[in-house]
Chain A
Amino acid sequence: MNGHLDADRIARCILGEASAAERAHLARCAACRLEVEELGQTLRAFRGSVRDWSRSELVAYESGAELAGRSAPGTPCCIAVTLLLCLMGIRISLQQPSDRQLARDGADPDSVLLERVRADVARRVPGGMEPLLNLVASGVSPGEDAQDQPLP
């Protein structure tokens, strides 16, 4: 064999599939031998690093899962209590203005409620669409109805 081993032959040597001629060349060529040894050493170090990495990740994952498992029984209770508190807070905040208004006006609760229902019924569109309706209405001259406009 003339010259040094090419990439294919080096790969064969690394994979342990070198022919007799390639093995003989390795035995007498220090440069090729060194290259095969160094590549082999690098691959072994790579394997070691992957194994260490995997071990540490697995430990981290399992310790994380264990921690999650420990906190799991309390978690639903915490969530339920938090939701309950949120709902109570929302209800209180919704009730407070009307109570204050009632106290200020000294009005009968039933009549206030009736007024509110009348106002809602009197709306032409749902409350959420009122800004849109106002926008459309602002583009129409007074006295004209937007629905009477001819289509383009």
Chain B
Amino acid sequence: MSAFEDSFDHTLDFERMVELYRPRIFRFALASLADRDAAETVSQDCFLRAHGAYASFRGDCSLQTWLMGIAVNLIRDQLRNRRLQFWNKTRNAPLPADRVLLNCSRQANDSPESLALLKQQVEAVWAAAEFLSARQKTVFLLRFVEDMDILEIAAATGMKEGTVKKHLFRALQALRLRVGPKQ
């Protein structure tokens, strides 16, 4: 729980919350939709909805979980949008290489070969993620990108704990098949 949440009360400045959580919401939306504009739209809509419901937030879960729950619904709506689906299918999806940024190359101690291999593995994760169902992908991203635990994911997605685990297991199995062991 962040310092912000420790001192949470309903009189807190909403702008502070936006400043703190916007990058996370944007990141999750971007990873889910692979579209910067759509991700920005989702993050703006998310805080718009949060603003409307802020007074009724009872603190049953953390602010991040609450906001992620709103974002999950918005992303699901975006994915249901036929027009977006059409464009997603017809346009050239961003290359995995575009998403595999310099994070790997920053590890200066690694050899170029091991960095190349790691980059290849990360690309394989992206490729595997494209084949996951929407729910599996959501759960997978919340767990392995946003570092949320199973209970938080269950709260954010409205799934039962067992369902979250089942989706995670399936996602990991699919991933393991595609990534495979390193040579």
Contact = CB atoms under 8 A, between A and B. Distances in A.
Interface of A: 7-8, 10-12, 14-15, 17, 34-35, 38-39, 41-43, 45-58, 60-61
Given A11-B168, A52-B103, A47 B145 contact: yes
Nearest to B141: A50
14 contacts: A14-B172, A15-B150, A35-B181, A42-B124, A42-B125, A46-B144, A49-B99, A51-B27, A53-B31, A53-B98, A53-B100, A56-B101, A57-B26, A61-B40
Nearest to A10: B176
Interface residues of B, number: 37
Main secondary structure of the interface of B (DSSP, over half): helix
Contact of B39 (A7, A35, A57): A57
A69 to B, nearest CB: 14
Contacts of A43: 125, 144
Interface string B163-183: 001001100110110010110
Interface of B: 23, 26-27, 30-31, 36, 39-40, 98-104, 118, 121-122, 124-126, 141, 143-145, 147, 150, 165, 168-169, 172-173, 175-176, 179, 181-182
Contacts of B181: 34-35, 38
Given A39-B179, A54-B23, A54-B27, A60 B36 contact: yes
Contact of A49 (B26, B100, B169, B179): B100
A61 to B, nearest CB: 6
A39 B176 contact: yes
